[in-house]
Amino acid sequence: MAHYQIVAVDSMEKIFPDTQPKLLRHSAEMLKNERYSFQLACYSETPERFVRLRIDSPFADRIRWKAEEYVPVYLAAYPESDDYLISRNSGIFPDVLREPDGRDIALRPGKQTPLFVEVKGFPPGMHRLGFALVGEKGEELCSCEFTLTVLDAESVKSDLIWTNWLHCDCIGEFREEEFFSERYFGVWENYVRSAVEHGATMLFTPLFTPPLDTAYGYERPTVQTVGVKKSRAGWEFDLSVLEEYIDRAFGLGIGYIEFSHLFSQWGAEFAPKIVGTEEGVKRRFFGWDTPSDGEEYLSFLDAFLPCLTEWITRKQIADRVFFHLSDEPPEERAPAYDRAAGHVRKLLRGFRIMDALSDKSLYESGIVDCPVVNVNRTESFIREGISPWAYYCCDSGEYCTNRWMSMPLQRVRVLGIMLYYLNIRGFLHWGFNFYFSQLSKSRINPYLVTDAGGAFPAGDAFVVYPGTDGPVESLRHEALLDAVQDYRALRALEKKIGRAETVRFLQEEGVRGFREYPRSAEWHAALRHKINCMLTER
C-alpha cells in the first residue's frame, strides 16, 4: 500500500478505522433532480497529520463534503436481535458528519479517515470528478477519479407524510423562559430545515409539554405554544406563539402539523403538564396528578379544543393538521383510552386523529382515523384492508428496517422501497433529537451516550446531533434521505409503467415486505441502477 491513498466508496458502507473498505465505486448515475452521495476513504502510513482535499471539477462549488467522526456505542443491539448487523459488540461507529474546520483533514497513521461527499445541481451529462489529498505546501499526495452521469430524467415529488418528532426542549442550551424567543426560533429553524431537506413533510408541534418518554412523577422542561390563563370567567387562550410556530414551519417547507398528545403516553390515564397564570401567578394546572377523565381536565378541553379548532378553521389549515390522543395505548388500558378519546372525538368532528397503536380494536372502534403501526405488524393491518402508516422504534425484529448505528446502512435505506411496495403513505419516528436518558430522568450528551443511558440500541433516539446554531448531521440521516429518493424514483417509475408493473418488478428482485428483501448493499445499488435505466428508456 502506498504511503497515501484515497478511494471512492459506496454511501451504504460504514468505514471503520482498521478495515479496508469493500464497496469501492468508480462511477454512478443520478436523476437530475436528486442529490448523489458517496464516501472517500483516506489513508496514510506517515505521521503527517493534516492534509487538504482538492476537488477538480468545473462544478466544484456544487460538491460538498463533511468529515465523518466516530462515536461510542455501548448497547449495539439487544441479545435477541437478528443477525443483520455490522456487530452486536460495543465499539466506535462512524456517524457524525462534521463540516470541515478550515478545510483541514486530520489523518491518523495507519487508520482510515472517511469523508462524506454529496453532489447536487449538476447538468445532465457525464462528469469526471477528481479528488486529491494535498500536503501543507500544496503538493499532491494521492488522487482518485469518480465518474458521475447525470441522467436527463427526474423523480416525482414525494407524496409521503413523513414525520420525525422534534423535541423542542432538546434544542440548544436555552432556559425555559427563552423557549420560542427570537433567538430560540433562529436555532429551531435550522433543525426544521434539516428535517425538511431530508424528507420531512410533517412537524410535531407542542400545544403543551408533550407527555412522552417521561417517568411517572417526573417533568420535562415546559415547552408550550399555547398561553393559558384562568379567571373567574373561565379559561382564556393565547395562540400567538402557536401561530408563529406553524407559520415558520410552513415557510420552511413543512406541509402538515401534528399536535402533541392530549393525554399521557401508553394508555391516556393522565393529563399532560399544562402551565399558565391565575390572578397573575404562574402555576401548573394539570399533570400527573390529573386523571384524564376527571371533570376538571375534561372541562378544560371543552373550552380549549373549540377555541383551537375555530382558529384552525379561520386560518384555513384544517386539511393540514392531525391530532394525537395517547401514544401506543396497550390493550389492558383500552378502557381509559376509550373514555378519554370518546370525549375528545366529539370535540374534534371533522378533524383527523392519528396515534401509534398495535391493537386493531382501537382503530376498529372508530376513534383513530390514521393508525400508525410498528413495521413488524403493519402488514397484518394491510391484510385486513386497513391502510396504516408505519413506524419503527427499539427492536422491530425479524430483519425489519431500522436505524441503529450497528446496522448496515442498506437496512436503513431500504425503508423507502418498503413504503412504496406496501403502498404506505405515512412514516413516523419518535426521535429526531431526543437527548435524554430513557423516561427523561436526566440529560445526556449524545456524542458520548448514544443509547439513551443504556435503554435503546445506539441511534434509536436521534438522527442529528446538537451543534452551536443548529443540528449536526449523521450518516443515518443521509441514508434516510436516500430512502426518500428511492421512494420518489419508484413513484416516477409507477407514473411511467403503472403500479402493478412496478410492484412486479420489485417482486422479481426479491422484495416481499418489511421482513423479506435482499440484505445487500450491492443488490440495493444494482436495483437503483435498474430503476434509473427504466426511467430513461424511451
- Tell me the domains of the chain and their CATH numbers: 4-156 (2.60.40.10), 161-219+239-271+292-489 (3.20.20.80)
Average pLDDT over residues 422-436: 98
| pLDDT band of 338, cuts 50, 70, 90 | confident
Per-residue model confidence (pLDDT) at position 7? 99
Q: Which of 212, 232, 222, 218 is nearest to 289 (CA)?
A: 218
Does 531 score more than 80 pLDDT?
Answer: yes
pLDDT the model gives residue 370: 96
Amino acid, res. 534: M
- Interval 140-194: pLDDT, tens: 999 999 999 999 999 999 999 999 999 999 998 889 889 999 999 999 999 999 9
Phi, psi of 506 (to 5 degrees): -65, -40
Sign of the C-alpha dihedral computed for residues 92, 516, 503 and 370 taken in this order: negative
Over residues 201-258, the pLDDT tens digits come to 999 999 999 999 999 999 999 999 999 999 999 999 999 999 999 999 999 999 999 9
Are 30 and 59 in contact by the 8 Å Cβ rule? The answer is no
Q: How much is the pLDDT for 1?
A: 45
Instruction: Residue 517: count other Cβ atoms within 10 Å of its Cβ.
Output: 24
CA separation for the pair 254, 492 (Å, rounded): 22
- pLDDT for res 2: 55
Q: What is the pLDDT of residue 479?
A: 99
pLDDT at 464 over 80: yes
pLDDT of residue 285: 98
- Across 300-314, 382-396, 406-420, least confident range: 382-396
**Dihedral pair phi/psi, residue 288, rounded to 5°:** -60, -25
CB 526 within 8 A of CB 518: no
**The C-alpha cell of 174 is what?**
436555552
SS3 283: strand
pTM of the model: 0.97
Given a contact cutoff of 8 angstroms between Cβ atoms, the answer to whether 167 and 434 are in contact is: yes
- Whether the per-residue pLDDT at 41 is higher than 70: the answer is yes
Question: Rounded mean pLDDT of the chain?
Answer: 96
Residue-wise pLDDT tens digits, 12-40 = 999 999 999 999 999 999 999 999 999 99
Rounded Cα distance, 198 and 427, in Å:
13
Q: Distance between terminal CA atoms of the chain?
A: 45
Q: What is the mean predicted confidence (pLDDT) over 105-133? A: 97
**Rounded mean pLDDT, 264-280:** 95
Give the pairing type, strands 35-44 and 112-120.
Answer: antiparallel
3-state DSSP assignment of residue 384: coil
Question: What is residue 352's three-state secondary structure?
Answer: strand
Q: Residue 18 and residue 16: Cα distance in Å, rounded?
A: 6
Is residue 426 within a helix (H) or strand (E), and if so which, with residue range?
Answer: strand 426-429
**3-class SS of residue 363:** helix
